[in-house]
Amino acid sequence: MAFTRITVSPDQMGGVACIRNLRIPVSVIVSLIAEGFTEEQILEDYPDLELEDIREALRFAAESVRERQIPLVV
């Protein structure tokens, strides 16, 4: 799966995955969605973002955890 809107650079934000070379980490977008923010609210709060940025951030997050063991408390 190719991610055209996700960039990673060791010189920016400590090398974390960001949206289109903006200083907006993918994790921020995913966290906002998890907290219940709508796409419209996120776009209002981050005017440099586009709707497809949010959707690709979610696809990137899903791919990042696919087929990896994540420790869960049982």
pLDDT in tens, 4-42: 999 999 999 999 999 999 999 999 999 999 999 999 999
Identify the bridge partners of residue 18 per DSSP, sorted by sequence position. Answer: 7, 25
* pLDDT exceeds 70 at position 56: yes
Strands (E), the chain: 6-7, 18-19
- What pLDDT does 11 receive? 92
- What pLDDT does 74 receive? 63
Architecture in CATH of 6-64: Orthogonal Bundle (1.10)
* pLDDT exceeds 80 at position 72: no
User: What residue ranges do the domains of the chain occupy?
Assistant: 6-64
Instruction: Identify which has the larger pLDDT, 55 or 74.
Output: 55
Please name the residues in contact with 21: beta carbons below 8 A apart, sequence gap of 6 or more.
7, 9, 12
- With residues binned 3-state (H G I as helix, E B as strand, rest as coil), the percentages for the chain, rounded to 5, are 45, 5, 45
User: What's the pTM?
Assistant: 0.86
